[in-house]
Amino acid sequence: MHKTTHDAGMLTEAAAAQAAGDDAEAWRRRDLAVLWHPCTQMREHPDTLPLLPIARGEGPWLVGRDGHRYLDAISSWWTNLFGHAEPRIAAAIARQATTLEHVILAGCSHAPAVELAERLLAIAPREPGREPLTKVFYADNGSAGVEVALKMAFHWFRNRGVEGRTKFIALDNGYHGETLGALAVGDIPLYRRVYAPLLAEALFAPSPDAYQCEPGETPADRARRAAGTLGELLQRHADEVCALILEPRVQCAGGMRMHDPLYLKLVRELCDAHGVFLIADEIAVGFGRTGTMFASEQSGVQPDLLCLSKGLTGGSMPLAAVLATQSIYDGFLDDSREKAFLHSHSYTGNPLACAAALATLDIFASDGVIARNRVTSQRMADLAAAFADHPHVADVRQAGMIVAFELTRNGDKRTPFDSAARIGLRAYRAALDRGVLLRPLGDVLYWMPPYCIDDDALQLLAATTRAAMDHAIEEAACA
């Protein structure tokens, strides 16, 4: 009798797994019949690149339609902070949805937009003796936020009758989004090269990337050297430049390359000396990701324009905010409409997104997130330390809640794998098979989990990362 029940249980389980597998497969087919996915060579679906239909999210976990759970180790493109379907954020969105879902923000105002602006300005980086950030302009995604900041910097000089400052300085290996303006100040060849003929000319300065230190050079030395070259560039071109844009502390899309906070401090001094605006793109590194609320704080620097998105809503709704100084704002006040900043998106300051962002800031305040992250990031450091002696791991680096592993081909730890070996893709597939959603950047595997990740999940992440990298390297060797 007992045996029969047991067998029946097994059968039911097997049948359920089969049904879930069929359901996932059906969704895969429906999807590929109609969707064109972002950042994807569609030809690789579904054979080379598995497509993962997700039914729901739960804390740091994604639950697949196949019935398996997948750890979201990259916070769904670096957006998620407190887990999926976070009840407090969900409730805030639901409340707002039955009050005011959207209203045009040109000529109208609403409480969530005002309150969010007040609260963002209150926590924004501040530097003694520098005029604070006092105004917020909303957009609806990171790239659009970058466009806003670039256009504001350029337009400000125009409004003062300065016609020659038409260029931007950006950093080698930087990334600021996919729209044409953002691509023009980006330096990731894979995204940029094909569109190069369409892009405005920008000036590029060396990245302060500590991975590129010469033997005997410290990250701070490297920061000084990169700033030295930037200084020379500014000497030659300052009167053509309106702003410099960079990602403080970590060049994320560029392979989680990290630099010494000293660099931003030196950049701030150079921008001041040459009358160039400093735009900090904290779209990926803001909201506690690198250990402080904003990465600029680690350098004691306040930018003139600060771009925020991704974690701004805890990963729940698209929203961007650009914070500006009063002088920048004042530079647009005039009798002429042309001197106004006419940039607009239909969903500017969407109330649902602002409500989600307010709930996110409430969680920061009530849950002691930054302090708790210090404990979590120390645990991540302990687990990552075990990778240092791996024969193919050239570098283990960390900034708060980001850990990255640079994989290289051989013992000198500087020879990259042939890109045709597709190490990252192989690691991606191997990790998925083991229940972890990693999405390597080339040969860089990284952890950027939701802050609510617990110790068991971290251990699974570390073990799976190791298994995935070993599997990828072995598989590539056999291919």
- The first and second tokens of residue 307, run together, are 């771009």
- Looking at the Cβ atoms of 24 and 182, the one nearer to ligand PMP is 182
Of 145 and 331, the one with the shorter C-beta distance to ligand PMP is: 145
CB of 284 to ligand PMP, least distance (A): 4
Shortest distance, position 153 Cβ to ligand PMP, whole Å? 16
Q: 356-366: buried (b, 16+ CB within 10 Å) or exposed (e) per residue?
A: bbbbbbebbee
Q: Shortest distance, CB of residue 439 to ligand PMP, whole angstroms?
A: 11
Give min distance, CB of 196 to ligand PMP, in A: 19
Of 143 and 207, the one with the shorter C-beta distance to ligand PMP is 143
Residue 327 CB partners (closer than 8 Å, separation 6+): 131
Give 233 or 250: the residue with its C-beta nearer to ligand PMP: 250
Residue 110 or 310: which CB sits closer to ligand PMP? 310
- For residue 204, what are the CA distances in angstroms to 135, 164, 237, 245, 392? 29, 18, 11, 10, 31
- Cβ 140 to ligand PMP shortest distance, Å: 9
Interacting residue ranges for ligand PMP, rule: CB under 6 A: 141-143, 146, 175-177, 247, 252-253, 281, 283-284, 309
Q: Please identify, using beta-carbon distances, which residue of 92 and 307 lies nearer to ligand PMP.
A: 307
The candidate with the shortest Cα–Cα distance to 146, out of 272, 280, 265, is: 280
Tokens at 436, concatenated: 């972890």
What is the closest distance, in whole angstroms, from the C-beta atom of residue 454 to ligand PMP in the complex?
A: 26
How far CA 348 is from CA of 139, 305, 318, in Å, comes to 5, 18, 10
Residues 6+ apart with CB under 8 A from 62: 52, 54, 56, 69, 70, 71, 72, 84, 437
Please tell me the distance from the alpha carbon of residue 316 to that of residue 311, in angstroms, as a whole number.
8
CA 190 from chain center: how many Å?
Answer: 17
Cα–Cα dist 380/403, whole Å = 7
DSSP H or E stretch at residue 395: strand 393-399
Question: Residues at the annotated binding site?
Answer: 77, 142-143, 175, 281, 310, 344-346, 439
Name which of 133 and 146 has its Cβ closer to ligand PMP: 146
**Whole-number minimum distance, CB 146 to ligand PMP, in Å?**
6
Q: Crossing angle of helices 87-97/351-367, nearest 10°? A: 150
Q: Which amino acid is at 154?
A: F
Shortest Cβ distance from residue 322 to ligand PMP (Å)? Answer: 12
Sequence ranges of the binding site for substrate: 77, 175, 310, 344, 439
Contact 347, 102 (CB under 8 A): yes
Which residues define the annotated binding site for pyridoxal 5'-phosphate?
A: 142-143, 281, 345-346
Between 292 and 309, CB nearer to ligand PMP: 309
Residue type, 347: Y
92 in Cβ contact with 359 (< 8 Å): yes
DSSP 435: T
The closest residue (CB) to ligand PMP is 142
